Structure 1
Amino acid sequence: MSTSIDAKLALNRKSGGRVVAAMVIWVVLLFVPFWLPMIGGYTDLATRALIYAIAASGLNLLLGYTGGLSFGHAAYFGLGAYGAGLCLIHIAPSVPLAILGGTVLGGIAGILVGPMAMKRKGIYFAMITIAFGQMFYFIAVRWNSLTGGEDGLTGFSRVPLHIGGEAIKLGPERFYYLVLVLFALVMAIIWQILRSPLGHSFVAVRENTTRLRFLGVAVDKQIWVAFAISTFIVALAGTLNALLTGFASPDNLGWQLSGSFVVICVLGGMRSFWGPFLGAVIFIVAQDYLSSVTQNWMSFIGLIFVLAVLFFPQGLLGFIKGRGR
């Protein structure tokens, strides 16, 4: 009886600690434009970190919780960026429409690619995702009349956001808060998915596919659903990145960026809810600082990744949790 009570108390303390940690994170994020410049940072850096955190969180739904290693998710990030830019140029100067159009374009591409990719397992799954990613990359490079080819898509920028008859200019601070709201929405959606039977089925696919098949579960369908949801989230991040930079490049679809998303997930902790966020913050800050110091900054990023894999196999957040226990 006492053992049961102690276990419940320990569980309550653990749950309370998570709530406090989450509240601290949100408070820190809420006041970023006020305290970040005091330590030599700038608001667009924090915005970029949140955008990459959204993309990595979407990938982590597939990689960390379902067990599918994708090296082609930058394709949907890039499609989101191109979709947002093309909406602003050819349809209407509307930020919500650009975000919606880019997200839908990348998500639909993920839905179509999913059935073909989910037939492969392990390294073959990773290889086919690279193949599809490179296909979208070469389409963007060759379709000069629409995408601008190797020069990328330009000629668009953030336009005022019309709310209640008022035009609100999206300067760096206001755009940061727009991205923060969307980041909160994405995290809430992922949290609800992971707590639902669908989320539990994703984890079951990762842990024991054979047993699920014997139970009559359509494993391929579960992987497809996880793949599709993750591509919608990554495409949303791509639209925000295009609005941040005012530019969509074929590099946004390349496998190198897909590798960066994987590094972010592994660095922060693949099977942790906040792991991709922590990994994105470390990656973006390190990239910004190292690129200003040396042209070989990618070598140092690679070294950080190797050290993380060797000494923190569960990611930095997993290591912190382990030390806490």
Structure 2
Amino acid sequence: MNKEVFNKQAANVLVWLLLLAMPYWLPAIGGYIELGTRVVVLGLAAMALNFLLGYTGVLSFGHAAYFGLGAYGAGMTVRYLVPSTGLGLLVGTVVGAVAGAIIGPMIIRLRGVYFAMVTIAFAQVFYFIAFRWSTVTGGDDGLTGWTRQPLHLGFTTIDILHNPTAFYYLVFVVFAVAIAIMAWLLRSPFGRTLLAIRENERRARFLGIPVDQHIWISWTISCAFASLAGALYAYVNNFVDPRALYWTQSGDFVIMAVLGGMRSFWGPLIGAAIFVTLQDYVSSQTENWMSFVGLFFVLVVLFFPRGILGMIRRKVAS
């Protein structure tokens, strides 16, 4: 086993151990369990975007649409249909994935800024629907009057409403399954094909690879993971409002991916941890917290263009 493979495996083990023990070590350093839950959920959303951005080379500024659809799908299922946490997760994920699959063929032939702008446009359509359809979505006041429900497993019931540790581990299990599927896809021939498209799309076409079809599949998978993260985020807050669909939310996901390192698997999760922690701490000190986060982002882009994880890898390699 060479040094690079050993370092990668050691990093994977360290990340999983930190996530598994987060409810115990995070309060010891001044944090709280709900903060760790938000990091994991938004980390999943950023990694979903990175599936498209970092591994396919296509930039979307509209992933808030599918994040928000997942959130509304989960919240509206619990409020209007069946008070079931599991069913809400399933419906939210399916709604966002289907929306992504339908929109995908309309945009997959676009590239660069054109692709990014069209994804924003579709996201804003969903935002205005949620904002205006107040009789169903609650409009600007948000979807209220519902909460996440206890998990009934037959032999026992887990109270994820009043027990933040139990809810964290529910989120962790869902995150672990999603990340395992994502890693498997990226290591498969399909994932290697995405890397070929990212590195040189023209050459990939010459090799006979159906580029547009692969981008559409990558887009749909990315939207599905983002929707799953949105459904979990609805349960974190027991509330959904149109801001989950707004374009600035998409910008946050891009910032998280770039901060951590958008061409690395764990980079977006690290970026999400930095972003959420900074947001939580700085916003408690000043109303101008966005200025500080923006300045930090600019400094990282200028001095560490491969992100925080890229900088760490460089130090380890040297």
TM-score, normalized by the shorter chain, greater than 0.5: yes
**Structure 1 residue 168: deviation in Å?**
1.4
Residue 158 of structure 1 aligns to a residue whose secondary structure is coil
Identity over the aligned pairs, expressed in percent? 54
The answer to whether the aligner puts 1:251 opposite 2:208 as a matched pair is: no
The answer to whether the aligner puts 1:83 opposite 2:64 as a matched pair is: no
What is the TM-score of this pair, normalised by structure 1?
Answer: 0.95
The answer to whether the aligner puts 1:162 opposite 2:152 as a matched pair is: yes
**Structure 1 residue 312: deviation in Å?**
0.6
**Structure 1 residue 89: deviation in Å?**
1.0
The answer to whether the aligner puts 1:296 opposite 2:250 as a matched pair is: no
Structure 2 residue aligned with 1:116? 106
- Which of 277, 281, 289 matches 1:285? 277
Letter in 2 for 1:37: P
Residue 152 of structure 2 aligns to a residue whose secondary structure is strand
Structure 1 residue aligned with 2:16? 26
The answer to whether the aligner puts 1:130 opposite 2:99 as a matched pair is: no
Gaps of 5+ in 2: none
- Which of 22, 32, 35 matches 1:45? 35
Equivalent residues in 2 for 1:163-182, closer than 5 Å: 163-170=153-160, 171-182=163-174
**Structure 1 residue 299: deviation in Å?**
0.6
Looking at structure 1, the residues matched to 50 and 24 of structure 2 have their Cα atoms a distance apart, in angstroms, of: 30
CA root-mean-square deviation: 0.9
The runs of at least 4 consecutive aligned structure 1 residues that moved more than 4 Å come to none
Looking at structure 2, the residues matched to 48 and 168 of structure 1 have their Cα atoms a distance apart, in angstroms, of: 20
**Structure 1 residue 40: deviation in Å?**
1.3
Write out per-residue CA displacement over residues 128-147 of structure 1, whole angstroms, 9 at most, x where no aligned residue.
00000000000101111111
The answer to whether the aligner puts 1:94 opposite 2:87 as a matched pair is: no
Structure 1 residue aligned with 2:205? 213
Write out per-residue CA displacement over residues 264-296 of structure 1, whole angstroms, 9 at most, x where no aligned residue.
000000000110110010000000001000000
Letter in 2 for 1:75: A
Letter in 1 for 2:267: G
The answer to whether the aligner puts 1:270 opposite 2:262 as a matched pair is: yes
Looking at structure 2, the residues matched to 235 and 187 of structure 1 have their Cα atoms a distance apart, in angstroms, of: 14
Write out per-residue CA displacement over residues 171-207 of structure 1, whole angstroms, 9 at most, x where no aligned residue.
2100100111111112111111111110011111111
Letter in 2 for 1:197: P
Structure 1 residue aligned with 2:45? 55
- Which of 295, 303, 307 matches 1:311? 303
Residue 230 of structure 1 aligns to a residue whose secondary structure is helix
The answer to whether the aligner puts 1:148 opposite 2:156 as a matched pair is: no
Looking at structure 1, the residues matched to 298 and 94 of structure 2 have their Cα atoms a distance apart, in angstroms, of: 35
- Which of 28, 32, 36 matches 2:26? 36
Looking at structure 2, the residues matched to 219 and 17 of structure 1 have their Cα atoms a distance apart, in angstroms, of: 33
**Structure 1 residue 155: deviation in Å?**
1.1
Structure 2 residue aligned with 1:188? 180
**Structure 1 residue 150: deviation in Å?**
1.0
Looking at structure 2, the residues matched to 21 and 76 of structure 1 have their Cα atoms a distance apart, in angstroms, of: 30
Letter in 2 for 1:128: V
Write out per-residue CA displacement over residues 28-80 of structure 1, whole angstroms, 9 at most, x where no aligned residue.
21111112112111000000000001000000000011011100001100000
Which structure has the greater CA radius of gyration?
A: 1
Name the count of aligned residue pairs.
315
Looking at structure 2, the residues matched to 57 and 254 of structure 1 have their Cα atoms a distance apart, in angstroms, of: 19
Structure 1 residue aligned with 2:224? 232
Structure 2 residue aligned with 1:6? none
Letter in 1 for 2:40: L
Which region of structure 1 is more displaced relative to structure 2, 126-135 or 157-166? 157-166
The answer to whether the aligner puts 1:104 opposite 2:94 as a matched pair is: yes
Looking at structure 2, the residues matched to 25 and 293 of structure 1 have their Cα atoms a distance apart, in angstroms, of: 29
Gaps of 5+ in 1: 1-8
Residue 222 of structure 2 aligns to a residue whose secondary structure is helix
Looking at structure 1, the residues matched to 78 and 155 of structure 2 have their Cα atoms a distance apart, in angstroms, of: 20
What is the TM-score of this pair, normalised by structure 2?
Answer: 0.97
**Structure 1 residue 166: deviation in Å?**
2.4
Looking at structure 2, the residues matched to 203 and 30 of structure 1 have their Cα atoms a distance apart, in angstroms, of: 30
Write out per-residue CA displacement over residues 200-234 of structure 1, whole angstroms, 9 at most, x where no aligned residue.
11111111111111122111111101100000000
